[in-house]
Amino acid sequence: MSLLEVKNLSVEFHTQEGITRAVNGASFTVNPGQTVGLVGESGSGKSVSAFSVMGLIPNPPGKIVSGEILFNGKDILKMNEAQMRKLRGNDISMIFQEPMTSLNPVFKVGEQIAESLILHKGMNAKEALEKAIELMDQVGIPNPKSRALAYPHELSGGQKQRIMIAMAIACDPKLLICDEPTTALDVTIQKQVLDLIFGLQQEYNMGVLFITHDLAVIADIADEVVVMYKSNIVERNSVKSIFNSPSHPYSKGLLACRPGLESNPKRLLTVSDFMDKEGNELKVSDERKKPFTKTYDYSGDKNPILLEVKNLKTYFPVKAGFFRRTIGHIKAVDDVSFQLRKGRTLGLVGESGCGKTTLGRTILRLVEPTEGSVYYQGQDVTGLEAKELQALRSKMQIIFQDPYSSLNPRMTIEQIIVEPMKIHKVGVSDNERVDLAKQLMEKVGLLTSHLSRYPHQFSGGQRQRIAIARALALKPEFIICDESVSALDVSVQAQVLNLLLDLQDEFDLTYIFISHDLSVVNFISDEVGVMYQGKIVEHAVASEVYNNPQMGYTRNLLSAIPKGIPKS
């Protein structure tokens, strides 16, 4: 008998626009000790399927309209809330995508792990806290006894995710549901988290339902793959069959749009290259599939130097005591120097906290440097007064990691794109600026009719395109892309990367591309700088860094990348 059997599950949501079918007749099984990968883009129905298993579909507006969800032969859909509470967190546990929103900010993490032990295992508070500390040690939290007294905001992203895992396994569940648990993590932390989950799976013989849009991860961990597209399961097979001979064009598109480490096409393939809007399969030309290896000559580049960073330092004071005296400094950027030529892309890679984002913001003087200089076309940016700096801002732009938090929710897209034009006096009239905004919307692949909408009315990929349109509004020469594709589905990520390359070719743009995804950096960059503890420890042509890394830290980063080769 299967541990979990989902039969013909259909879920609907009632909205002001009408009824939306989020899951349409989905069927799949998970056996003890088996890992089933549930893949697809945002909105495909993956998470709704998982929430249905957990009994977490809000009603209203959501409603399970048909189907069965059998756990150990018992239909979850026929259980009342009291029965579900006994099951949820005890026999079935879930690791959510964003631990910061799943952990209670006002309770210590040890107390949050202990809560389920008190509820489901009948332990008293002292016993539960001792067990929580054991679990924290088991999931690799350093100094678990002291860290149990920490609040969620005092932990790193990787540590918070480990706390979520400790909570999920506290009661030895039979089924573990992982909803994008590694999407926003560095490759090294991702590997540690995956190794941890599947070490625990072997120890407890858990069934695992692993939800992700990253097929490279699925290849490393899954036994079976279920592919969802627009609320339907379009393909279900062993991981080997899916990777070696996918039958549905959507599966083929998902596999093709992920950049590789060895070689890439000049432009990434996307799902739309394999199927039309009606779902009919398209033939992809051999020319589009042809791999391309960069031959950029770092030493022989004749383009002028656009940006030069000299001995840049950005230190943040650490204060303590009643009088908040400075007791030390965090060296976020520590004596960094490099040059970047016009029309080229420098990829900055490294783990969270290495200083990538702070370096990018210091270059633009969104963060003030402690020491050092930044020269833009020979002009020292660090010495400019506010008025002079504002005049230079039109040439230097940034695309932030999270477009939703960087777009004003109270402004229409038209206002968001036109506002910087007004400030920097681009265009002679409002009508001309609106015309320019329309051209930019078309340039980034959106409709001009979208200008009247607000940010919340768009998907993540569309919002990122709007952020790119806003960055282009002032006709910049230099753009910093700060983790600008890290949270996007792989197919949308491919579209945005292609767009950035097309815009670079058209406008001769220069990029600093900040990312923890080494495969993406390899695809888009001419040269790569590897950051560690505030310093650039390795800097060379992309192919040299990837094929012949000189530093042990770089080799560790590369070894942690999912290989995308199915389990034997």
Residue 493 confidence class, pLDDT cut points 50, 70, 90: confident
Residue 398 confidence class, pLDDT cut points 50, 70, 90: very high
Q: Is residue 234 predicted with pLDDT exceeding 90?
A: yes
Specify the range with the lowest mean pLDDT, choosing from 30-44, 181-195, 384-398.
Answer: 181-195
Residue % of the chain over a pLDDT of 70 = 97
Q: Name which of 470, 463, 468, 382 is nearest 423 in CA terms.
A: 470
Residue 184 confidence class, pLDDT cut points 50, 70, 90: low
Over residues 4-12, mean pLDDT: 94
- Specify the pLDDT at position 95: 87
Distance CA 540, CA 22 (A): 47
- Sign of the dihedral through C-alpha 424, 375, 542, 508: positive
SS (H, E, C) 487-548: CCCHHHHHHHHHHHHHHHHHHCCEEEEECCCHHHHHHHCCEEEEEECCEEEEEEEHHHHHHC
Over residues 254-264, mean pLDDT: 79
**Highest-confidence segment of 176-190, 431-445, 448-462:** 431-445
226 touches 246 (CB < 8 A): no
4 touches 70 (CB < 8 A): yes
Over residues 506-529, mean pLDDT: 90
- Specify the pLDDT at position 434: 94
Distance CA 414, CA 449 (A): 10
- Specify the pLDDT at position 568: 58
- Write the DSSP string, 321-365: TTTTEEEEEEEEEEEEEEEEETT-EEEEE--TTSSHHHHHHHHTT
Over residues 165-185, mean pLDDT: 84
- Specify the pLDDT at position 301: 81
Residue 31 confidence class, pLDDT cut points 50, 70, 90: very high
Using DSSP bridges, classify how beta strands 74-75 and 62-71 pair: parallel, antiparallel or unpaired.
Answer: antiparallel
Q: Name which of 384, 397, 444 is nearest 423 in CA terms.
A: 397
Residue % of the chain over a pLDDT of 90 = 39
- Specify the pLDDT at position 121: 86
Over residues 482-492, mean pLDDT: 79
Using DSSP bridges, classify how beta strands 4-15 and 62-71 pair: parallel, antiparallel or unpaired.
Answer: antiparallel
Mean pLDDT estimate for the chain: 87
Distance CA 543, CA 261 (A): 9
The DSSP letter of residue 3 is S
Crossing angle of helices 490-507 and 249-256, in 10° steps, is 50
Using DSSP bridges, classify how beta strands 371-376 and 305-320 pair: parallel, antiparallel or unpaired.
Answer: antiparallel
State both tokens at 122. 């009948």
What residue has token string 């020491």?
A: 371
For the stretch 532-551, pLDDT in tens is 989 999 999 988 888 889 99
pLDDT higher for 348 or 17? 348
Please name every residue paired with 341 in a beta bridge, in sequence order, or none if there are none.
305
- CB neighbour list of residue 73: distance below 8 Å, 6 or more residues apart: 1
- CB neighbour list of residue 515: distance below 8 Å, 6 or more residues apart: 347, 348, 349, 481, 483, 485, 486, 521
Crossing angle of helices 157-169 and 109-121, in 10° steps, is 10
Distance CA 197, CA 221 (A): 10
503 touches 530 (CB < 8 A): no
Q: Is residue 375 predicted with pLDDT exceeding 80?
A: yes
- Specify the pLDDT at position 400: 84
Distance CA 56, CA 537 (A): 47
- Write the DSSP string, 165-215: HHHHHTT--SEEEEESTTTTS-HHHHHHHHHHHHHHHHHHT-EEEEEES-H
Q: Name which of 330, 347, 338 is nearest 312 in CA terms.
A: 338
- Write the DSSP string, 292-320: B-----STT--SPEEEEEEEEEEEEEEEE
Cα angle value 161/84/61 (rounded, 5°): 80
- Write the DSSP string, 216-237: HHHHHH-SEEEEEETTEEEEEE
For the stretch 40-89, pLDDT in tens is 887 788 889 999 999 888 888 889 999 999 999 999 999 988 888 888 88
In the chain, what are the domains? 1-91+174-246 (3.40.50.300), 101-170 (no CATH), 343-368+381-559 (3.40.50.300)
SS3 state at 424: coil
pLDDT higher for 253 or 42? 253
- Specify the pLDDT at position 297: 73
For residue 481, report the phi and psi dihedrals to the nearest 5 degrees: -100, 105
Q: Is residue 426 predicted with pLDDT exceeding 80?
A: yes
Helices (H) and strands (E) in the chain, counts: 23, 20
Distance CA 223, CA 227 (A): 13
